[in-house]
């Protein structure tokens, strides 16, 4: 049976296409079987998850998805590395900090996020690239560091985040105030969704001058579809089938993917119209962020965006919303479970000038510790992948291991950050205090990635989450209804059920 999200996507395409897809799948399995390779001596001495004859772990991967398969591989490899065969590919889990650091510092020639578009790589980034077009995640080569530099100057820079602070504050305050009518305790059925909407409005306002970006739920819906499809192995199967029959050119979207891409482009067009109107009416106002990104990458102060900025308009549909929703949701869950932590945070907030950028950005150590601990325990990007392009020895492996072209290397940030091996017996406990006064840098913490391709937007994301959390807790007592929330490891980290909260205005309790 097709998984739900593909099914949802499939209903768009009509039943005949779903039948064709199912038949195609059977043919593809035949194709994979035919092209299947032997796993003998691929990584001698490294533990292997055998799975089924010929197909290896493919059925498990298709049925349960990458996170579950990864969990099994991690449990298998006590030396920090293990592997399995998925059809005609090898999937390697590297789960030791030194090895992870090594893989994450490989140059694009050795490893990239999506690999050769002529072959099914199973990488979520390949699906993503077909859905939203070329973007920084896929970029390799000399252009990459320039593009990263542009992002970093805009989002990971104190001066530019200072310039954005008033907007963050204004949008956060408006969204917090809208949670409840004056003086009335109100139940919010899904707090994550409300924070995602804040993030969307913030992006809309910052990039284009469109605070209505979230209205109607269309952008959030599109972003959820993109995320679901990217993390799902089935679109790779479907794509492989179409490649095999030469119905699609390597790297190009399939027909149904192109439909989704057209919907994303429509949202972007709407935002660009709003930007152009804003620019016409405010010729002397500071440039909106997308225009800044464009100017920094060779575009003009008016008219079409630079190719790099244009890429970000689509990338932004999928990136940057769920991270803020996730951070706030898990903070509320943990603070409710740990009233002593909530009390410390409230004490710090009550004695700080929280309308001052510098205070909230860098002078509230307990707030920082809470956000760090939430990102340690619930890293919204829980894992990543690299596809090997050029044979290379994994130097930090205790047993000799040669990584070969086409291998898919899975790296679990979640495992590193919650393993008792590295964080001690209380690794799974919420203890913000571990980050007060710095922390032991030997403990692996990579919620924002590591090395030359780490996150280029995390300072903006953290600042925005902190502002929202502070405004929320200043205005309401927040009560999380259930205390049994668990983590669901999907494309991103989620909760297993919607998080219901009651917000009671502080002046009414
Ligand atoms: C809590 C918020 C966020 C978290 C946890 C997060 C996490 C990450 C992680 C783990 C990576 C590395 C992925 C890998 O190793 O393959 C990454 C990369 C990236 N992030 Fe973030 N991110 C966040 C917010 C943002 C925001 C707000 C932006 C928008 C500017 C952004 C844009 C990017 C981009 C473009 C990359 C790719 C960089 C490159 O390939 O050179 N992220 N992020």
Tens-place pLDDT, residues 422-470 = 999 999 999 999 999 888 888 999 999 999 999 999 999 999 999 999 9
Q: Is there a domain that residue 421 lies in?
A: no
Q: Are residues 218 and 281 in the same domain?
A: yes
Q: How much is the pLDDT for 13? A: 43
455 marked as part of a ligand binding site:
yes
Q: Are residues 274 and 333 in the same domain?
A: yes
- Residue 501 φ then ψ, to 5°: -130, 155
Domains contained in the chain, number: 2
Give, using CA atoms, the residue closest to atom 40 of ligand 1.
Answer: 137
Mean pLDDT of the chain: 91
Q: Are residues 154 and 102 in the same domain?
A: no
pLDDT at residue 6 tops 60:
no
Q: Are residues 404 and 355 in the same domain?
A: no
Q: Is there a domain that residue 366 lies in?
A: yes
Give, using CA atoms, the residue closest to atom 2 of ligand 1.
Answer: 323
Q: Are residues 365 and 395 in the same domain?
A: no
Q: Are residues 154 and 115 in the same domain?
A: no
What pTM did the predictor assign? 0.92
Question: Which atom of ligand 1 lies nearest, measured to the CA of 139?
Answer: 40
Q: Are residues 464 and 316 in the same domain?
A: yes
Q: What would the DSSP string read from start to end of 181-247?
A: -TT--EEES-HHHHHHHHHHHHHHHHHHS-TTTTTTSHHHHHHHHHHHHHT-SHHHHHHHHHHHTTS
424 DSSP 8-state letter: -
Residue found by looking up tokens 């951070």 in the block: 327
363-389 pLDDT, tens digit per residue, is 999 999 999 999 999 999 999 999 999
Which one of 414, 430, 462 terminates a domain? 414
Secondary structure (3-state) at 161: helix
Q: Is there a domain that residue 77 lies in?
A: yes
Q: Is there a domain that residue 246 lies in?
A: no
Question: Which atom of ligand 1 lies nearest, measured to the CA of 148?
Answer: 41
Q: Give residue 448 CA to ligand 1 midpoint distance, Å.
A: 6
Q: Are residues 136 and 192 in the same domain?
A: no
Q: Give 388's strand partners.
A: 111
Q: Are residues 337 and 462 in the same domain?
A: yes
- Residue 490 φ then ψ, to 5°: -105, -145
282-293 pLDDT, tens digit per residue, is 999 999 999 999
Q: How much is the pLDDT for 121? A: 86
Q: Is there a domain that residue 234 lies in?
A: no
Q: How much is the pLDDT for 206? A: 97
Please, which pLDDT band fits residue 54 given cuts at 50, 70 and 90?
Answer: confident
pLDDT at residue 25 tops 80:
no
Please, which pLDDT band fits residue 22 given cuts at 50, 70 and 90?
Answer: low
Protein residues with CB under 6 Å of any ligand 1 atom: 113, 136-137, 148, 151, 155, 319-320, 323, 327, 380-381, 384, 447-449, 453-458, 460-461
Domain residue limits at 66: 4-142+383-414
Q: Are residues 186 and 276 in the same domain?
A: yes
Rounded Cα gap, residues 446 and 381, in angstroms: 10
Q: Is there a domain that residue 164 lies in?
A: yes
Q: Are residues 461 and 488 in the same domain?
A: yes
Secondary structure (3-state) at 488: strand
Q: Is there a domain that residue 231 lies in?
A: no
Q: Is there a domain that residue 75 lies in?
A: yes
Q: Give residue 457 CA to ligand 1 midpoint distance, Å.
A: 6
Tell me the three-class secondary structure of 350-387, residue by residue: HCCCCCCHHHHHHCCHHHHHHHHHHHHHCCCCCEEEEE
Q: Are residues 363 and 295 in the same domain?
A: yes
């Amino acid at each position: 049976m097709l998984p739900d999200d593909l099914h949802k996507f499939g209903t768009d395409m009509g039943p005949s296409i779903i039948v064709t897809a199912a038949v195609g799948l059977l043919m593809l399995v035949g194709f994979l079987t035919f092209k299947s390779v032997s796993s003998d001596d691929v990584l001698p001495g490294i533990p292997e998850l055998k799975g089924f004859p010929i197909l290896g772990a493919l059925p498990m991967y298709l049925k349960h998805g990458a996170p579950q398969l990864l969990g099994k591989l991690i449990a298998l490899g006590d030396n920090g590395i293990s592997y399995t065969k998925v059809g005609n590919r090898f999937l390697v889990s590297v789960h030791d900090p030194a090895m992870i650091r090594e893989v994450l510092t490989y140059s694009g020639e050795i490893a990239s996020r999506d690999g050769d578009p002529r072959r099914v790589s199973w990488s979520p980034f390949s699906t993503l690239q077909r859905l939203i077009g070329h973007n920084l995640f896929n970029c390799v080569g000399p252009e990459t560091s320039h593009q990263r530099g542009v992002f970093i100057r805009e989002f990971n820079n104190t001066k530019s985040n200072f310039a954005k602070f008033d907007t963050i504050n204004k949008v956060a305050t408006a969204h917090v105030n809208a949670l409840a009518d004056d003086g009335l305790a109100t139940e919010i059925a899904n707090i994550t969704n409300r924070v995602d909407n804040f993030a969307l409005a913030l992006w809309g306002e910052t990039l284009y001058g469109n605070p209505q970006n979230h209205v109607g739920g269309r952008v959030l819906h599109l972003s959820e579809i993109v995320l679901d499809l990217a993390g799902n192995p089935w679109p790779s199967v479907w794509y492989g089938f179409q490649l095999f029959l030469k119905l699609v050119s390597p790297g190009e979207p399939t027909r149904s993917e192109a439909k989704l891409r057209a919907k994303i482009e429509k949202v972007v067009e709407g935002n660009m119209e709003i930007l152009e109107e804003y620019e016409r009416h405010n010729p002397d106002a500071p440039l909106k962020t997308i225009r800044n990104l464009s100017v920094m990458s060779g575009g003009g102060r008016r008219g079409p965006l630079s190719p790099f900025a244009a890429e970000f308009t689509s990338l932004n549909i999928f990136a940057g919303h769920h991270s803020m929703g996730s951070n706030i949701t898990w903070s509320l869950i943990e603070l409710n479970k740990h009233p002593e932590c909530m009390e410390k945070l409230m004490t710090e907030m009550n004695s700080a000038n929280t309308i001052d950028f510098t205070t909230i950005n860098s002078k509230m150590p307990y707030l920082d510790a809470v956000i760090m601990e939430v990102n340690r325990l619930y890293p919204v990007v829980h894992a990543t992948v690299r596809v090997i392009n050029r044979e290379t020895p994994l130097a930090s492996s205790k047993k000799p291991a040669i990584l070969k072209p086409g291998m898919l290397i899975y790296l679990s940030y979640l495992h590193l950050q919650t393993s008792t091996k590295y964080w001690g017996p209380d690794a799974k406990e919420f203890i913000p205090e571990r980050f007060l006064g710095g922390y032991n840098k030997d403990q692996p913490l990579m919620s924002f990635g590591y090395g030359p391709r780490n996150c280029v937007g995390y300072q903006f994301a953290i600042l925005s989450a902190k502002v929202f959390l502070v405004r929320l807790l200043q205005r309401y007592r927040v009560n999380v209804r259930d205390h049994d929330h668990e983590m669901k490891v999907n494309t991103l980290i989620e909760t297993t059920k919607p998080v219901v909260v009651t917000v009671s205005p502080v002046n009414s309790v």
